[in-house]
A and B are shown apart, each in its own frame.
Chain A
Amino acid sequence: MSIDLSTEYLRLKLKNPLVVAACPLTGNLQSLRRLEAVGASAVVLQSLFAEQIDHEEYEIFRLHEYAGGVNAESQGYFPELEDYNTGPDPHLEFLEEAKRHLGIPVIASLNGTSAGKWVRYAKLFEMAGADALELNIYFVPTDPDQSAAQVEEQYLEIIEAVARELSIPFAVKIGPYFSSLPNFAQRAIRAGASGLVLFNRYLDPELNLETLRVEPHLALSQPSELRLVLRWLGILRDQVDVSLAATSGIHSVEDTLKALMAGANVTMLASTLLQRGPEHLARILGDLEEWLARRQYVSVKQLIGSVSRNRSADGSAFERANYMKALVSYTKDGHWA
Chain B
Amino acid sequence: MSIQVAVDDCTGCGVCVDVCPARSKEAVKIKAINMTAKGEVHQKQRVDLEYFLALPEFDRKAIDLDTVKGSQLMLPLFEYSGACAGCGETPYLKLLSQLFGDRSVIANATGCSSIYGGNLPTTPWAKNRDGRGPAWANSLFEDNAEFGLGIRLGLDKQEHLARLALKQMAQALPPSLVDELLYSDQGTELELAKQRERIVQLKQVLSTLASPEARLLEQLSESLVKRVVWIVGGDGWAYDIGFGGLDHVLASGRNVNVLVLDTEVYSNTGGQASKSTPRAAVAKFAAAGKSIGKKDIGMIAMAYGHVYVAQIAIGAHPLQAIKAFHEAESYPGPSLILAYSQCIAHGIDLSTGMSHQKEAVQSGYWPLYRYDPRVGHDGGKPFHLDSKKPTLPFRQFASKEARFSMLMRSDPNRAEKLLTLAQNDIHDRWHYYEQIANVERSLAGFYDEVTE
Q: Spell out A's residues near B (CB within 8 Å).
A: 56, 59-60, 63-64, 66-67, 73-79, 81-86, 90, 212
Which residues of A have CB within 8 Å of B349? 63
The answer to whether A75 and B270 have CB atoms under 8 Å apart is: yes
A219 and B283 CA atoms in complex are apart in Å by 38
Say whether B145 faces chain A, with CB atoms less than 8 Å apart.
no
Which residues of A have CB within 8 Å of B84? 67
Identify which of B28, B283, B402 contacts A64 (C-beta below 8 A).
B402
CB within 8 Å for A73 and B28 given contacts A60-B402, A64-B406: no
The answer to whether A79 and B347 have CB atoms under 8 Å apart is: no
CB within 8 Å for A77 and B345 given contacts A60-B402, A85-B409: yes
The answer to whether B28 and A78 have CB atoms under 8 Å apart is: no
Which residues of B have CB within 8 Å of A83? 410
Which residues of B have CB within 8 Å of A59? 402
CB within 8 Å for A78 and B410 given contacts A60-B402, A63-B402: no
Say whether B269 faces chain A, with CB atoms less than 8 Å apart.
yes
Nearest chain A CB to B173's CB is how many angstroms away? 54
The answer to whether B282 and A74 have CB atoms under 8 Å apart is: no
The answer to whether A86 and B268 have CB atoms under 8 Å apart is: no
The answer to whether B271 and A76 have CB atoms under 8 Å apart is: yes
User: Contact string, B265-289, partner A, CB cutoff 8 A, digits 1/0?
Assistant: 0011111000000000011111100
CB within 8 Å for A86 and B402 given contacts A74-B270, A79-B287, A212-B28: no
Q: Point out which of A56, A63, A75, A78 has the most chain B C-beta atoms below 10 A from its C-beta.
A: A78
The answer to whether B409 and A78 have CB atoms under 8 Å apart is: no
The answer to whether A63 and B347 have CB atoms under 8 Å apart is: yes
The answer to whether A64 and B410 have CB atoms under 8 Å apart is: no
Identify which of A60, A79, A86 contacts B284 (C-beta below 8 A).
A79
The answer to whether B410 and A81 have CB atoms under 8 Å apart is: yes
A13 and B234 CA atoms in complex are apart in Å by 65
Give me 24 A-to-B residue pairs in the complex whose CB atoms sit less than 8 angstroms apart, sorted by A's number: A56-B409, A60-B409, A67-B84, A73-B269, A73-B270, A74-B270, A77-B270, A77-B344, A77-B345, A77-B347, A78-B271, A78-B282, A78-B283, A78-B345, A78-B406, A79-B271, A79-B283, A79-B284, A79-B287, A81-B287, A81-B406, A84-B409, A90-B412, A212-B23
Say whether B403 faces chain A, with CB atoms less than 8 Å apart.
yes
Say whether B348 faces chain A, with CB atoms less than 8 Å apart.
yes
The answer to whether B409 and A86 have CB atoms under 8 Å apart is: yes
Which residues of B have CB within 8 Å of A84? 406, 409-410
A81 and B282 CA atoms in complex are apart in Å by 10
The answer to whether B268 and A73 have CB atoms under 8 Å apart is: yes
Which residues of A have CB within 8 Å of B410? 81-85
**A-B pairs with lowest CB-CB distance, top 6:** A74-B270, A79-B287, A77-B271, A77-B345, A63-B347, A63-B402
Nearest chain B CB to A323's CB is how many angstroms away? 37
A64 and B406 CA atoms in complex are apart in Å by 9
A154 and B84 CA atoms in complex are apart in Å by 43
CB within 8 Å for A76 and B270 given contacts A67-B344, A212-B28: yes
A78 and B285 CA atoms in complex are apart in Å by 10
A75 and B84 CA atoms in complex are apart in Å by 14
Which chain B residues in 342-386 approach chain A with CB under 8 Å?
344-345, 347-349
- The count of chain B contact residues (Cβ–Cβ below 8 Å) is 25
A90 and B282 CA atoms in complex are apart in Å by 20
Closest to A66 in B: B344
A77 and B269 CA atoms in complex are apart in Å by 8
Identify which of B268, B269, B284, B412 contacts A78 (C-beta below 8 A).
B284
Closest to B265 in A: A77
A83 and B411 CA atoms in complex are apart in Å by 9
Besides A66-B344, A77-B345, A78-B283, 10 other A-B contacts (C-beta < 8 A): A63-B347, A73-B269, A74-B268, A75-B270, A77-B267, A78-B271, A79-B282, A79-B285, A83-B410, A86-B409
Which residues of B have CB within 8 Å of A79? 271, 282-287
Closest to A83 in B: B410
Nearest chain B CB to A56's CB is how many angstroms away? 8
Nearest chain B CB to A210's CB is how many angstroms away? 12
A246 and B403 CA atoms in complex are apart in Å by 42
Nearest chain B CB to A291's CB is how many angstroms away? 43
Which residues of B have CB within 8 Å of A81? 287, 406, 410
A59 and B348 CA atoms in complex are apart in Å by 10
Q: Point out which of A56, A60, A79, A86 has the most chain B C-beta atoms below 10 A from its C-beta.
A: A79
Closest to A212 in B: B28
Nearest chain B CB to A276's CB is how many angstroms away? 25
Which chain B residues in 275-322 approach chain A with CB under 8 Å?
282-287
Which residues of A have CB within 8 Å of B271? 74, 76-79
Which residues of B have CB within 8 Å of A63? 347-349, 402
Closest to A75 in B: B270
A45 and B452 CA atoms in complex are apart in Å by 74
Nearest chain B CB to A274's CB is how many angstroms away? 20
Which residues of B have CB within 8 Å of A90? 412
Which residues of B have CB within 8 Å of A67? 84, 344
The answer to whether A74 and B269 have CB atoms under 8 Å apart is: yes
User: Contact string, B385-412, partner A, CB cutoff 8 A, digits 1/0?
Assistant: 0000000000000000011001001101
The answer to whether B23 and A78 have CB atoms under 8 Å apart is: no
A60 and B282 CA atoms in complex are apart in Å by 13
A77 and B412 CA atoms in complex are apart in Å by 21
Closest to B25 in A: A212
Which residues of A have CB within 8 Å of B345? 77-78
A75 and B269 CA atoms in complex are apart in Å by 8
Nearest chain A CB to B266's CB is how many angstroms away? 9
Nearest chain B CB to A206's CB is how many angstroms away? 15
Which residues of A have CB within 8 Å of B344? 66-67, 77
Which residues of A have CB within 8 Å of B409? 56, 60, 84-86
Which residues of A have CB within 8 Å of B406? 60, 64, 78, 81, 84
Nearest chain A CB to B404's CB is how many angstroms away? 11
Nearest chain A CB to B21's CB is how many angstroms away? 11
Which residues of B have CB within 8 Å of A64? 347, 402, 406
Which residues of A have CB within 8 Å of B23? 212
A58 and B270 CA atoms in complex are apart in Å by 21
Nearest chain A CB to B231's CB is how many angstroms away? 23
Nearest chain B CB to A251's CB is how many angstroms away? 30
A77 and B349 CA atoms in complex are apart in Å by 14
Closest to A86 in B: B409
Q: Point out which of B28, B285, B347, B412 has the most chain A C-beta atoms below 10 A from its C-beta.
A: B347
A77 and B286 CA atoms in complex are apart in Å by 12
Which residues of A have CB within 8 Å of B282? 78-79
Nearest chain B CB to A66's CB is how many angstroms away? 7
A69 and B403 CA atoms in complex are apart in Å by 18
Nearest chain B CB to A212's CB is how many angstroms away? 4
Nearest chain A CB to B355's CB is how many angstroms away? 11
